[in-house]
Structure 1
Amino acid sequence: MHAPDRAALFAALEATWPAARCEAHGPWLIRFGAGGGKRVSAATPTGPVSASDIPQAEEAMRALGQAPLFMIRSEDAALDAALQARGYAVVDPVALYVAPIERLAAIETERLSGFAIWPPLAIQEEIWAEAGIGPARLAVMERAKGPKAAILGRADARAAGTAFVALHGEIAMIHALEVSPRMRRKQTGRRMMGVAAQWAQKAGARWIALAVTRENMPANALYASLGMASVETYHYRIPVSAEAHTA
């Protein structure tokens, strides 16, 4: 069974964590994120672009009330170099992980250690809020079409973590997996991944995937330990002045 190609993975990423609105401006796809984070606010080229095309994207993003932000994928090397020359800095390098759904669905989950529900409970929203995932990102989850679930993880008979999972075709994408700081080191993340995979397998998924920043070493270690393979990377470019402002 061949793993999904990069185009399928990026399509699933887009569909399961959708922007509030997308606009075509020349060779650019401009996303309006409505405060939902970089992934739903970044511009990407839809075909070949040159340095002379960058101002068009910058103007379109500013017109939406957003600072210029570009997602750079492996095929965007020329754009990457042009943005660097223009004074843009790299932020948030990301790894895309994928695994056959049955690998994670086989994770042993204790009775009452996790549930797949929709909509999320208030306690899940509280755990997300504790991690900086507020209403704007919850709105992204609401926008996702097709099968989806909020995963509630439990440990010591208490709510311990939460995650969002949604399907696009045969790919289940995990987003916003968070474990409450006081409930860590209890295998909660591992069990939530198992619960999410079991739910997604029943919904028809053949693959489970997610995106995580490379600097999040505990998360990268968890996904590698579950047998997930890092198959693709991307990063963002923002003006250096914006990087200094957000540091």
Structure 2
Amino acid sequence: MITAACIDNLMNQGWPAAHSTELDGWLVRRNDGVTLRANSVLPAGAPFDLGKALDYVENLYQAHGITPSFQISPAAQPTDLDAQLEARGYEVRNPTLVQCAEIADVLAKLPESDADVNISSVPSDRWMKCWWAVDGRGGGPAEQASAQQILERGRALYAVLPGEAEDVKAIGRLALVDDWAGLYCLAVDEAFRRQGLARAVIRALLQEATSRGVERVFLCVVEANTPARALYDRLGFRTVSQYHYRVRA
């Protein structure tokens, strides 16, 4: 069984921030305010002086125009950090489940597909346009450029299921981290939903991963996203950890 701390590390590598400062066991991440994961503290160890550490984080983030935030999983240190942050005025955001599966098991449950899914090692302009429109984090060209830099900092596979002309029906990203694959950015254009395209994208990405010797996959799914959770349950994914963010009100 993989530990929550190992999962936290995999997710951090799969979505790397531009700047990461080590602070007595904490990893303080910054990325121009784009995405919560890349602009939150990963509290992997317990600081000697919690109050001073919290003050440092808050001052640093505020100096860069970023709302102070922490990613809280079962591995967060100190163990009462969540309660400490609540008392300090931090609010809960985005409760999320982390799920894992053996790639071979998932592929066995996915139906055959004749969809022409293209796989590349970089996100194309069409990929970015689809993701930003369907499932991006919002904002203008500067925010989109910062998000693209996050994507391109680590090894990954990018799937595009093209439509007519320059249109894209569906996309997905598979981060390659150590001997794991991480499924991110799965998005289907609203006009093409309920046609099995998400499954086709997942299948194409996982097949490519197996050709590279990767055997296990993880993903994050927002707890309230019932349709996505139902899909992953059918594919054999099982919850191994969870997290939420504590964000300064």
Q: Which residue of 2 aligns with 1:142?
A: 152
Q: Which residue of 1 aligns with 2:42?
A: 44
CA 1:127–1:55 in 2, change beyond 3 Å: closer, same or farther? Answer: same
- In 2, the alpha carbon distance for the partners of 1:83 and 1:227 equals 35
- In 1, the alpha carbon distance for the partners of 2:9 and 2:95 equals 19
Letter in 2 for 1:11: N
Shifted more, 101-110 versus 190-199: the winner is 101-110
CA 1:230–1:161 in 2, change beyond 3 Å: closer, same or farther? Answer: same
Identity of aligned residues (%): 26
CA 1:10–1:47 in 2, change beyond 3 Å: closer, same or farther? Answer: closer
- In 1, the alpha carbon distance for the partners of 2:145 and 2:106 equals 29
SS at match of 2:80: helix
Query: 1:86-107 CA distances to partner (integer Å, 9 max, x unpaired)?
Result: 1111000111011001122332
Query: Structure 2: any 5+ residue segments left out of the alignment?
Result: 137-143
Q: Which residue of 2 aligns with 1:245?
A: none
TM-score normalised over the length of structure 2: 0.86
CA 1:27–1:60 in 2, change beyond 3 Å: closer, same or farther? Answer: farther
Aligned length: 236
Matches within 5 A, 1:1-247: 3-49=1-47, 51-52=50-51, 53-76=53-76, 77-106=79-108, 107-133=110-136, 134-144=144-154, 146=155, 148-153=156-161, 159-240=168-249
- In 2, the alpha carbon distance for the partners of 1:209 and 1:174 equals 6
- In 2, the alpha carbon distance for the partners of 1:184 and 1:59 equals 44
TM-score normalised over the length of structure 1: 0.87
Shifted more, 20-29 versus 46-55: the winner is 46-55
Shifted more, 5-14 versus 90-99: the winner is 5-14
CA 1:25–1:8 in 2, change beyond 3 Å: closer, same or farther? Answer: closer
Query: 1:50-77 CA distances to partner (integer Å, 9 max, x unpaired)?
Result: 6523212211222333110111111334
Query: Structure 1: any 5+ residue segments left out of the alignment?
Result: 241-247
SS at match of 2:213: coil
Query: 1:113-142 CA distances to partner (integer Å, 9 max, x unpaired)?
Result: 422213233322221121252332221111
1:156 Cα deviation after fit: 9.2
